[in-house]
């Protein structure tokens, strides 16, 4: 009997009878301590349960603890939720997959939902999971896909596909439901074992599932009210200017040109920042320090600089400090579990020096503050500061909201800002734009421009950045006095111009190839927005260049 060999990603070779199906192979790999395999790639191509192996090749398996597997899990679970919710709530229900919130995805629903209906939806989802229903896909022409979505009155899909430059479109199928979903889906409903639904009264439902950091566990839901309301506020603004999804954004650009959406987005953001500055000035007798934090590539530096200008225009004199300048000397940097320096950890910061210098400054003493030289890995002391009567400190950094710093300063003297690009735009009702992907694209462009990093290097290190955020940034967002949204409605159209050539540099034999392809899939539906009309003070300039603050 003829056999073939399959090579696992760890280099292990396994021998099977020629013609064996994937589902049978997975049974031989089953381990009670392992998570279910969600996505399988054979020689780099997605395959399904019925795929038969005829020759030697490489087999890549992705479960919920991997980025690729987790993303596919999210898409499959949302697909299943929407299908079941429409059955329970009625086919006329509008469900819009909006944004991430506390280890889940918020879905806006245009009907009031009861606890009893949530229980029914969960029950139906569990039944379909037990039935092991495969996620299938077909290729069809763009024209046929457009006709289909017009026939079922899915105008959001029609608008998205209209701007898709591909002649062929992949549609996914679950039971008899056809959908256009960007990205890979799981093999079957059978893998979607870990989930829960949380009702947000009069708003919608949070579909919850484990992140790659949760070891397959559903964590307790915490509703971050300020975070949620900030995105809702921007969503309301998007509805007013009739730009709520990708299709509407592209329509706006076609009908009005890119200049107007750029100016509207910048004005909205500047208005919010001016409001923050006014609140600080009104309480200037109390607030002595402004602490500004957020995840990577949120635009912390530009926001701090712009806020300084607003405060100056209102009569205050801001002094800017970065927590990054208080890194321990390179040889004192703590080591992570991988044996390499852990620059994301708060232990990488010389907190004792930082707290001591800030205390002295607030007492009116002159202090020589450090500037960290990232080339030598040493602090350099060349700049002295002394706070005068009308001065105020602006301190930005990854750990600025961490409760471990400035414990000797009363809370009433600290104004805390959490900054993140909280994109409110959708691709369509079923496909959201990940805030993490937006930050990643910003970082790819900036790393290449300012640090000479290849896009592959940035993608390779991204998991460390994300792990640091989960541990040192996100848990402290509720400590903020205010949340500032640094996203701009038009920015992915601009990032497309800069990021696409970089992502195409990543070839098939690169471990980061699949992520690069997913990001290219996201960008291809956006109309390009040239940078010539973007103000020099824009947060986006921090990433694409020519910033007033550089």
For residues 411 and 102, what is the distance between their CA atoms, to the nearest angstrom? Answer: 26
CATH code 3.10.20.30 region(s) in the chain? 3-62
pLDDT tier at 499, thresholds 50, 70, 90: very high
pLDDT at 34: 73
294-322 b/e (C-beta count within 10 Å ≥ 16 → b): bbbbbbbbbbbbbbbebbeeeebebbbbb
Residue 400 pLDDT greater than 90, yes or no: yes
CA dist 286 → 264, 395, 480, 515 (Å):
34, 16, 16, 47
pLDDT at 96: 96
Residue 53 pLDDT greater than 80, yes or no: yes
End-to-end CA distance of the chain: 68
pLDDT at 361: 94
Average pLDDT over residues 104-115: 95
- The helix (run of H) or strand (run of E) holding residue 45 is strand 45-46
Average pLDDT over residues 88-97: 96
For residues 186 and 343, what is the distance between their CA atoms, to the nearest angstrom? Answer: 35
pLDDT tens profile 321-330 = 999 999 999 8
pLDDT tens profile 361-394 = 999 999 999 999 988 999 999 999 999 889 999 9
The β-bridge relationship of strands 289-293 and 414-420 is parallel
Average pLDDT over residues 135-153: 95
Average pLDDT over residues 100-122: 94
pLDDT at 486: 97
pLDDT tens profile 222-278 = 889 999 999 999 999 999 999 999 999 999 999 999 999 999 999 999 999 999 999
Burial class (CB in 10 A: 0-12, 13-18, 19+), 526: buried
Contacts of 279 (CB under 8 A, 6+ apart): 415, 482
Residue 1 pLDDT greater than 80, yes or no: no
The candidate with the shortest Cα–Cα distance to 106, out of 233, 232, 263, is 232
Average pLDDT over residues 294-308: 95
CA dist 178 → 45, 83, 181, 495 (Å):
22, 10, 10, 31
The CA angle 384-386-389, to the nearest 5 degrees, is 160
Q: What percent of the chain has pLDDT over 70?
A: 99
Average pLDDT over residues 481-495: 97
Cβ atoms 20, 53 nearer than 8 A = yes
Q: What percent of the chain has pLDDT over 90?
A: 82
Contacts of 311 (CB under 8 A, 6+ apart): 277, 280, 281, 317, 318, 392, 394
pLDDT at 163: 92
Both tokens of 374, joined, read: 């990232």
Overall size of the chain counted in residues: 550
CATH 3.10.20.30 fits 3-62, yes or no: yes
426-441 b/e (C-beta count within 10 Å ≥ 16 → b): bbbbbbbbbbbbbbbb
Rounded to the nearest 10 degrees, what angle do helices 491-503 and 513-523 cross at?
140
CATH 3.30.980.10 fits 68-135+185-222, yes or no: yes
SS3 133: coil
pLDDT tens profile 178-221 = 999 998 999 999 999 999 999 998 899 999 999 888 888 888 88
pLDDT at 97: 96
Which residue shows structure tokens 């629903």?
A: 109
pLDDT tier at 541, thresholds 50, 70, 90: very high
pLDDT at 206: 96
pLDDT tens profile 409-445 = 999 999 999 999 999 999 999 999 999 999 999 999 9
CATH class of 226-544: alpha beta
CATH code 3.40.50.300 region(s) in the chain? 226-544
pLDDT tier at 128, thresholds 50, 70, 90: very high
pLDDT at 188: 96
pLDDT at 35: 85
Residue 32 pLDDT greater than 60, yes or no: no
pLDDT tier at 31, thresholds 50, 70, 90: low
For residue 482, count other CB atoms closer than 10 A to its CB. 16
pLDDT at 339: 78
Average pLDDT over residues 109-118: 95
pLDDT tier at 44, thresholds 50, 70, 90: confident
pLDDT tens profile 451-478 = 899 999 999 999 889 988 988 999 999 9
pLDDT at 467: 87
Average pLDDT, the chain: 93
pLDDT at 220: 86
pLDDT tier at 342, thresholds 50, 70, 90: confident
CATH code 3.30.980.10 region(s) in the chain? 68-135+185-222
């Amino acid at each position: 009997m003829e056999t073939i060999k399959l090579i696992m990603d760890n280099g292990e070779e396994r021998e099977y009878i020629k013609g064996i199906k994937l589902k049978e192979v997975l049974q031989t790999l089953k381990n009670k301590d392992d998570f279910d395999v969600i996505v399988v790639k054979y020689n780099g191509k997605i395959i399904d349960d019925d795929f038969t192996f005829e020759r030697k090749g490489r087999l890549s398996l992705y479960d919920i603890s991997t980025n690729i597997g987790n993303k596919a899990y999210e898409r499959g679970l949302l697909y299943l939720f929407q299908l079941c919710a429409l059955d329970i709530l009625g086919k006329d229900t509008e469900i819009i997959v909006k944004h991430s919130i506390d280890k889940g995805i918020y879905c806006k629903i245009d009907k009031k939902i009861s606890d009893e209906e949530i229980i029914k939806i969960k029950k139906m989802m569990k039944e379909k999971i037990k039935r092991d229903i495969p996620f299938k896909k077909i290729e069809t022409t763009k024209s046929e896909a457009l006709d289909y979505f017009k026939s079922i009155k899915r105008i959001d899909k029609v608008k998205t596909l209209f701007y898709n430059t591909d002649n062929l479109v992949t549609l996914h199928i679950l039971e008899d439901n056809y959908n256009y979903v960007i990205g890979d889906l799981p093999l079957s409903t059978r893998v979607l074992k870990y989930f829960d639904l949380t009702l947000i009264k009069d708003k919608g439902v949070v579909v919850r599932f484990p992140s790659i950091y949760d070891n397959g566990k559903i964590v307790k839901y915490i509703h971050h009210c300020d975070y949620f309301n900030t995105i809702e506020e921007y969503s309301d603004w998007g509805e007013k200017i009739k730009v709520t999804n990708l299709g509407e954004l592209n329509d706006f650009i076609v009908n009005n040109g890119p200049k107007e959406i750029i100016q509207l987005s910048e004005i909205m953001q500047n208005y919010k920042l001016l409001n923050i500055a006014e609140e600080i000035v009104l309480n200037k007798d109390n607030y002595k320090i402004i602490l500004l934090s957020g995840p990577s590539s949120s635009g912390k530096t530009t926001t701090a600089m712009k806020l300084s200008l607003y405060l100056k225009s209102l009569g205050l004199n801001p002094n800017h400090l970065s927590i990054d300048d208080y890194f321990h000397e390179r040889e004192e940097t703590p080591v992570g579990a991988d044996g390499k320096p852990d620059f994301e950890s708060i232990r990488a910061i010389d907190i004792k020096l930082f707290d001591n210098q800030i205390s002295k400054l607030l007492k009116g003493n002159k202090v020589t503050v450090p500037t960290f030289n990232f080339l030598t890995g040493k602090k350099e002391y060349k700049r002295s500061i002394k706070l005068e009567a009308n001065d105020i400190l602006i301190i930005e950094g990854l750990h600025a909201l961490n409760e471990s710093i400035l414990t000797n300063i009363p809370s009433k003297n600290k104004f805390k800002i959490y900054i993140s690009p909280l994109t409110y735009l959708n691709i369509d009702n079923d496909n959201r734009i990940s805030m993490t992907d937006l930050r990643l694209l910003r970082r790819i462009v900036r790393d290449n421009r300012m640090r000479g990093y290849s896009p592959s290097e940035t993608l390779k290190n991204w998991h460390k950045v994300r792990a640091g955020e989960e541990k040192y940034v996100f848990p402290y967002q509720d400590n903020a006095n205010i949340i500032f949204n640094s996203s701009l409605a038009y920015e992915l159209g601009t990032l497309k111009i800069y990021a696409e050539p970089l992502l195409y540099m990543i070839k098939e034999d690169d471990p980061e190839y699949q992520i690069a392809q997913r990001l290219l899939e996201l960008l291809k539906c956006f109309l390009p927005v040239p940078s010539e009309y973007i103000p020099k003070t824009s947060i986006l300039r921090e990433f694409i260049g020519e910033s007033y603050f550089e």
